[in-house]
Amino acid sequence: MKPEILVEVAYATPQKQVILEYTVEAGSTARAVVLDSAIDQQFAEIDLDNCDIGVFGKAVADDYELSDGDRIEIYRPLIADPKEVRRQRAARGLAMKKGGGAITPD
């Protein structure tokens, strides 16, 4: 029997955040744990087979082997393409100030 490790599976929407703890066998992969988590029962919009996943903010492949204490994050699809938003802002002649607010040109 392989040793066990403790991992978390996390998903969040603007209204709700859930972090589930699991004890899994060492050598378990990120996608396998996500599929076994059944977190989609709390969030109907999640497609566990195809969603993007990461560990501590860094995207990982489905076969990424987990380490003790890893937090697997399930990512929601982007609503807007960041490159397109920047392109539109530049076309309007707006710059971003520190803190994310728009500055109007003088």
Question: Which tens digit of pLDDT belongs to each residue from 39-63?
Answer: 989 998 899 999 999 999 999 999 9
Task: Please indicate, yes or no, if residue 89 is contained in any of the structural domains.
Answer: no
Task: Please indicate, yes or no, if residue 103 is contained in any of the structural domains.
Answer: no
Look over the chain and give the mean of its residue pLDDT values, rounded to a whole number: 86
CATH number, domain of 16, equals 3.10.20.30
**Cα 37–Cα 68–Cα 71 angle in degrees, nearest 5:** 50
Task: Please indicate, yes or no, if residue 93 is contained in any of the structural domains.
Answer: no
For position 53, what pLDDT does the model report?
A: 96
Tell me which of 86 and 55 has the higher pLDDT.
Answer: 55
Residue 40 burial (C-beta neighbours within 10 Å; 0-12, 13-18, 19+): middle
Could you give the 3-state DSSP secondary structure of residue 55?
strand
For position 23, what pLDDT does the model report?
A: 96
Task: Please indicate, yes or no, if residue 101 is contained in any of the structural domains.
Answer: no
For position 9, what pLDDT does the model report?
A: 97
Domain that holds residue 25: 4-75
Domain count, the chain: 1
For position 82, what pLDDT does the model report?
A: 72
Task: Please indicate, yes or no, if residue 95 is contained in any of the structural domains.
Answer: no
Task: Please indicate, yes or no, if residue 27 is contained in any of the structural domains.
Answer: yes
Backbone angles phi, psi at 15, to 5 degrees: -95, -25
